Amino acid sequence: MQPTSELAGSVLKARTFGSMGTVISLTVPARALGTAAVPGTAGGGERELDAAAAAVERVFARADETFSLYRPDSEASRLARGELSLRAASAGMRDRYADALSWRLMTEGAFSPERPDGVLDLSGIIKGYAIGQAGAALRSRGITDWCLNAGGDVLVMGSPVPGSGAAWAAGVVDPLDRSALLSAYGLGGPGTRWALATSGSAERGDHIWTAGSRGVEFAQVSVAAADIVTADVLATAIVAGGTAMLHRATDGWDIDVLVVRRTGELLATPGFRA
């Protein structure tokens, strides 16, 4: 982590918008924008940030249109109602479904694209996928230092202090006191983890299907990984699969994990300790 003074010298700029039932924040160091825009013009950076935010918003809107079960007219809703068969679904839908099935295999069922009532629910994988796509859109616009936060799932590139190599410091919310932070984790910078996703059993209680009939062991699981889909899916899977899945995940993937048990006790891999 960087001393505050250095960070204080770098002004961060943020844009937020709502999509997919949550709020998405794009945070960019002002200096990074300055170099990409016309030098010396004060408003250039702001306009570039607006344009970038709009591009990100379009990515999320498109994903929401196709995959939201909250929109009656989405492809996902029509699939859920049986009006559409997977065979006839769009290539994007079929790809995400295939991804979700392969994650189900890799997590030995702890992550599943189907709700217990049999309805296809790709929301567990779509948000991560959309964040990843939005990141690609930012990169393609030549922005190399940014932090994208979609409802608590974070993907970063570069550094909050462009060129410094400093990591983005991502706080992890305390599920027992949402106004407090539990820990902080350095994303990007010198490390190889750019994504941090947190899943919980508190909010949207039916968001994660638990494997087996036991109660949920973990109140909240945060996973840091190289890519956001892995982080998001594994966080979901560990909440659902409990200790067994936690060990499978830490053994099988290059990730860091911070777990809050329902009793409030913490479990963490070494990456969350220093």
Partner 1 sequence: MRTRAAVSAALASAGILIAGWQSGVHIADSSSAVASAATGTAGSTGMGTGTGTGTDDSTASSGSSGAGTTGAAGASAKAVGTYAGSVVQTRFGSVQVQITVQAGKITDVTALQLTDAERKSVQISNRAAPLLRDEVLQSQSADVQTISGATVTSDAYLNSLQAALDAANL
Q: Report 84-103 residues binding partner 1 (CB under 8 A).
A: none
β-partners of residue 17 are: 24
Say whether residue 263 binds partner 1 (CB under 8 A): no
Say whether residue 27 binds partner 1 (CB under 8 A): yes
Say whether residue 246 binds partner 1 (CB under 8 A): yes
Q: Please check whether residue 234 is in contact with residue 253, taking contact to mean a CB–CB distance below 8 angstroms.
A: yes
Say whether residue 130 binds partner 1 (CB under 8 A): no
Say whether residue 1 binds partner 1 (CB under 8 A): yes
β-partners of residue 99 are: none
Say whether residue 38 binds partner 1 (CB under 8 A): no
Nearer to partner 1, 113 or 189 (CB): 189
Query: In whole angstroms, how close is the CB of 196 to partner 1 at the nearest point?
Result: 5
Query: In whole angstroms, how close is the CB of 35 to partner 1 at the nearest point?
Result: 18
Say whether residue 145 binds partner 1 (CB under 8 A): no
Say whether residue 67 binds partner 1 (CB under 8 A): no
Selection from 73, 66, 69, 84 nearest residue 117 by Cα: 69
Query: In whole angstroms, how close is the CB of 174 to partner 1 at the nearest point?
Result: 7
Q: Report 153-212 residues binding partner 1 (CB under 8 A).
A: 153-154, 156, 160, 168-175, 178-185, 196-204, 207
What is the identity of the amino acid at 91?
A
- Torsion over CA: 79, 61, 221, 215 (sign): negative
Selection from 102, 127, 87 nearest residue 207 by Cα: 127
Whole-angstrom CA distances from 177 to 130, 150, 242 are 29, 20, 22
Say whether residue 222 binds partner 1 (CB under 8 A): yes
Query: In whole angstroms, how close is the CB of 78 to partner 1 at the nearest point?
Result: 24
DSSP secondary structure string, 150-213? ETTEEEEES-SSTTS-PPEEEEEEETTEEEEEEEEEEESTTSS--EEEEEESSTTGGGSPPSSS
Say whether residue 268 binds partner 1 (CB under 8 A): yes
Residue 146 CB partners (closer than 8 Å, separation 6+):
26, 27, 28, 32, 52, 135, 138, 156, 157, 158
Q: Please check whether residue 134 is in contact with residue 56, taking contact to mean a CB–CB distance below 8 angstroms.
A: yes
Rounded to a whole number, what is the largest CA-CA distance in the chain?
61
Query: In whole angstroms, how close is the CB of 269 to partner 1 at the nearest point?
Result: 5
Nearer to partner 1, 89 or 242 (CB): 242
Say whether residue 46 binds partner 1 (CB under 8 A): no
Query: In whole angstroms, how close is the CB of 205 to partner 1 at the nearest point?
Result: 10
Say whether residue 128 binds partner 1 (CB under 8 A): no
Q: Which of 69, 216, 244, 267 binds partner 1 (CB under 8 A)?
A: 267
